[in-house]
Amino acid sequence: MARASILETQGLSRNFGGLAAVQDLDLTVGEGEILGLIGPNGAGKSTVLNLIDGSLRPTRGRIIFQGEDITRLAPHRRAKRGIARVFQRNALFRSMTALDNVLTGSFLHTYRGPFSVVTRTLERVRKDRELMDHCLELLELVGLKDKSHELAPSLPHGSQRQLCVAVALASDPKIVLLDEPLTGMNAEETAAMIELIKTINASKGLTVIVVEHNIKAVLGLCERTVVLNYGCKLIEGEPRVCVSDPAVIEAYLGTEADVL
């Protein structure tokens, strides 16, 4: 059964001077899908994520999210509509605890009116309690509830990556953009992150777009892959079919033996 589309790009392009980083990219992402975006260094993968989350404006083309043209929307308005991003580098508040970082991530869906700032009404206390419980649930989901009061920088790298996922989930997204989530991880941390991505996809029904260089991880995680080369779509489809394609092997993977 075909999935309903949650995100589409139509002729999406981005030029930097005379360099075309992304060229006429048509992309359709199904609701609840885990899509892998792969390709060699400089293929335009992170640029595509930057265009989707609004960090960059396209030179031309359109971005449609849940039927709405968001091409000209500012990043915070896209985030409000349900697009969350986990960056290559751990974007955390270093002076805050793990729990405080997740609470900060919930800001988009937390309203504080002028009256509640100066008086702690029962309603505000109740909502704060609900918010705290929700953030603790997210920390439990990513395996960090027992580290909720530790400062973010004191956590191991793999745990910091998991915390970044919890912060993204706190914004109540519909789609999560993961930019090389496995970077710098050892084998144990990599396996834990892969399971976490599968869990948030299955339990929350979240759509996930993953940019990742770890091809074996992509094969075990993604339902479908899109391969980029020089900013253009080279091929898309089932991951093993894509990575076995001669054009992909030549452009990115070296030899078939490296993949399989």
3-state SS of 212-234? Answer: CCCHHHHHHHCCEEEEEECCEEE
Rounded-to-integer distance, Cα 246 and Cα 250, Å: 6
Task: Give the closest residue to 35 by CA, choosing from 80, 74, 3, 1.
Answer: 3
Confidence band of 124 (pLDDT split at 50, 70, 90): low
Asked whether the domain spanning 90-172 has the same topology as the one spanning 1-82+176-186+206-260, the reply is: yes
For domain 90-172, the CATH architecture is: 3-Layer(aba) Sandwich (3.40)
Residue scoring higher pLDDT (120 or 228)? 228
Q: Yes or no: is domain 1-82+176-186+206-260 CATH 3.90.70.10?
A: no
Degrees (nearest 5) of the Cα angle 248, 254, 259? Answer: 80
**Mean pLDDT, the chain, whole residue set:** 89
pLDDT of residue 109: 58
Pairing of strands 60-65, 207-211: unpaired
Confidence band of 125 (pLDDT split at 50, 70, 90): low
Rounded-to-integer distance, Cα 92 and Cα 152, Å: 7
Percent of the chain, pLDDT > 90?
74
Question: What single DSSP character describes residue 140?
Answer: H
pLDDT of residue 77: 94
Rounded-to-integer distance, Cα 234 and Cα 257, Å: 20
Percent of the chain, pLDDT > 70?
88
Contact 136, 128 (CB under 8 A): no
The first and second tokens of residue 147, run together, are 């580290």
Kindly give, in sequence order, each residue whose CB lies less than 8 Å from that of residue 32, ignoring residues fewer than 6 positions away.
Answer: 3, 201, 205, 206, 207
Domain spans of the chain, in order of start: 1-82+176-186+206-260, 90-172
